[in-house]
Amino acid sequence: MSPYQVFEDARWILEVLENNGHQAYFVGGSVRDYLMDKHISDVDITTSALPEEVEALFEKTLPIGKEHGTIIVLGQEQQFEVTTFRKDGDYVDHRRPTSVQFVTDLYEDVARRDFTMNAIAMDKSYQLHDYFDGLSAIKNKIITAVGTPIDRMEEDALRIMRGVRFQAQTGFNLDRETEEAMRQTAHLLDKIAIERIVVELKKMITGQFINRTISTINHLDMFKHMPFFKHIHHDTIFIPQQSNFELWIGSLCYLYDLEFSRLTHLKISNQEKREIISYYNLLNAFKHEDKSRVNMISLVYSYGDKKVKDVLQFIQENEARLNIQFHPTIMNAILVDEIYDKLPIYDKVDLNINGQVLMSTFNKKGGPWIKDTLNKVEQAVILNKVKNTQNDLIEWVRENVEI
């Protein structure tokens, strides 16, 4: 797809607005990414038209965010956020303005944004409206706050996290005054909902240039103002090379001996908690268990090939910090794939025996013995000690399990 296509698909919205006497521009992340020659998935549009005027001009709309000036305009296959020019009232909680005032001046709208590279507007002819030298910041690879940095950070402390996240994603340097403002206001992060912080951390830890952020994070000393992280009593917190959020948090639990109950402070889903605990268990297994092929088969069966390969790569990239050693010729992705492809079953439900069969065969009522027996059968099958046929499994149980 042409880098222009996403704008061309939305061009008709700008034309409708302009043909009816309103100003309209592309703005924000899509313009920034376009100027950086990065992939663009969607665009945001800003306009002088009031929300009610936007609704009147387009056949299909959704009033999601209308109180803040945003109307969703529905196209044939896409939807677009169209937001009225606005300026923010006073911030009292270091996160949200007490009020939003609709305005007719593009300058006032972009002046409220966080960083200059995000404050560039572009019209339908791809002409830039760059009041704060955002293009220059992009060319010089600098992350600079719009206006007075300390004011921007005090208004919305989440901008501190966004600045660090942008550095991890772009590899840009932080403007000295902007970074200092972030350091001075880092304590305000304790007023930000952890859910919003986690969103930024997930983007940060997967950033291509995550290593660039380590010195910044240490300088800001920001983790001591966040739930979960504040319980890690170390001067610096381990930040790995490119990872995913769950693996990173699992490694923190592993390195700093954190109780899993602490995960509730992150307010993440139960599925995410299970993923974190799985990664922790794998790291612990590679640290302490005998790294025999038998154990590798059990790990690959229990956790899946992808997760085991992710952890192996993670250990290789962070071996010194994790203090886990293994020889890559003995444990590697090729071996994991080979083990996975040869597994006779991939889940306990694949067994050709169940509790009903066991009770009928051994003329015994249900109870804990069924679960214990099926667990033993499961291990025997994945280790190829018995074929996964009902007759073979029953005979194996007769010979190896005390019923």
**112 is an annotated ligand-binding site residue:** no
CATH number reported for the structural domain that contains residue 152 in this entry: 1.10.110.30
Sign of CA dihedral 313, 263, 169, 68: positive
Is residue 1 in a domain? yes
HSE toward the beta carbon, residue 327, CA cutoff 13 A: 5
**11 is an annotated ligand-binding site residue:** no
52 lies in the same domain as 114: yes
Which of 226, 253, 282 finishes a domain? Answer: 226
Is residue 214 in a domain? yes
355 lies in the same domain as 245: no
Is residue 231 in a domain? no
**Cα 107 from Cα 89, distance rounded (Å):** 16
174 lies in the same domain as 304: no
207 lies in the same domain as 258: no
**Cα 111 from Cα 119, distance rounded (Å):** 7
**341 is an annotated ligand-binding site residue:** no
Which of 96, 117, 139 finishes a domain? Answer: 139
**Cα 309 from Cα 282, distance rounded (Å):** 11
For the chain, the first-to-last Cα distance in angstroms comes to 64
**Cα 81 from Cα 30, distance rounded (Å):** 12
24 lies in the same domain as 84: yes
112 lies in the same domain as 176: no
CATH number reported for the structural domain that contains residue 114 in this entry: 3.30.460.10
The amino acid occupying position 289 is E
Backbone φ and ψ of 342, nearest 5°: -95, 0
339 lies in the same domain as 355: no
Q: What is the CA radius of gyration of the chain?
A: 28
Is residue 339 in a domain? yes
Burial class (CB in 10 A: 0-12, 13-18, 19+), 30: buried
Beta carbons within 8 Å of 388's beta carbon, 6+ residues apart: 344, 345, 350, 351, 352, 381
Total domains present in the chain: 4
Is residue 268 in a domain? yes
**113 is an annotated ligand-binding site residue:** yes
**196 is an annotated ligand-binding site residue:** no
185 lies in the same domain as 97: no
**165 is an annotated ligand-binding site residue:** yes
Is residue 191 in a domain? yes
pLDDT of 289: 72
DSSP E strands in 6-97: the ranges are 24-27, 44-47, 61-62, 70-74, 79-84, 86-88
pLDDT of 218: 92
pLDDT of 94: 58
Look up the domain containing 194 and give its range: 141-226
Beta carbons within 8 Å of 395's beta carbon, 6+ residues apart: none
Is residue 293 in a domain? yes
Is residue 278 in a domain? yes
What the block records as the tokens of 354 is 């169940």
212 lies in the same domain as 305: no
Task: List the pLDDT tens digit at each of the 403 positions of the chain.
Answer: 566 789 999 999 999 999 999 999 999 999 999 999 998 988 999 999 999 999 999 999 999 889 889 999 998 888 999 999 998 766 666 556 666 789 999 999 999 999 999 999 999 999 999 999 999 999 999 999 999 999 999 999 999 999 999 999 999 999 999 999 999 999 999 999 999 999 999 999 999 999 999 999 999 999 999 999 999 988 889 999 879 999 999 999 999 999 999 999 999 999 999 999 999 999 999 988 777 788 899 999 999 999 999 999 999 999 889 999 877 777 789 999 999 999 999 999 999 999 999 999 999 999 999 999 999 999 999 999 999 999 999 999 999 998 8
**Cα 26 from Cα 10, distance rounded (Å):** 9
128 lies in the same domain as 252: no
Q: DSSP string covering 107-171, please?
A: HHHHHTSSBGGG--EE-TT--EE-TT-HHHHHHTTEE-BSS-HHHHHHH-THHHHHHHHHHHHH-
**159 is an annotated ligand-binding site residue:** yes
Which of 111, 139, 167 finishes a domain? Answer: 139
130 lies in the same domain as 163: no
3 lies in the same domain as 105: yes
Backbone φ and ψ of 195, nearest 5°: -60, -40
